[in-house]
Amino acid sequence: MLLQNNENFLYRLKQAWLFGRYFTYRDLPVGFWEKDDRVSWSRYLKTDHGKKMSEIITAAVVESAINATTSSVDNQFRCGIAFGVRFLATKLESLEFSQATADSGKPESQEKELLKNSYTTLLKGKIWVQKLLTREI
């Protein structure tokens, strides 16, 4: 038992070391995402192309979640992918609500509208999953 734990520990240590060699941590500098960036991103998301991209991202989140729950092979791996896809989608949506929003002096009604839009995106994903599960798609 002790030998098996040591082998497991050494394996995990090796994996962590290899991960650190190929994926270096990059911290974004202070002021990297400013108010101008947030405004441009928000405007882009309101265009036809931005709406399409938002739909693609929502579909990717739902698809990765479905793959994670329905697959019998590499279940933990697929759950990790689903978590990563969902995290990235959330991160992209949160760029609209960055620190620049707090400094912008926007009226509260506009901030509520932005929150409503992100909730709508999540709701569309839930409806899409329900349709998929009931074979309406």
pLDDT digits (tens, 9 = 90+) for 24-60: 878 888 888 888 998 899 899 899 999 999 899 999 9
Cβ proximity of 85 and 64 under 8 Å: yes
Phi-psi group of 105: left, alpha or beta (phi > 0 → left; psi -120 to 50 → alpha; rest → beta): left
pLDDT tens across 56-115, in order? 999 999 999 898 888 778 888 888 888 889 999 988 888 887 654 444 555 556 656 666
8 A C-beta contact, residue 42 and residue 104: no
What's at 107, amino acid-wise?
Answer: P
Q: Which residue has the higher pLDDT, 131 or 42?
A: 42
73: left (phi over 0), alpha (psi -120 to 50) or beta: beta
Q: Which residue has the higher pLDDT, 73 or 130?
A: 73
Pull the structure tokens for residue 81.
């992918």
**Tokens 């911290």 sit on residue:** 27
**C-alpha–C-alpha distance, residues 39 and 101, integer Å:** 9
pLDDT recorded at residue 110: 61
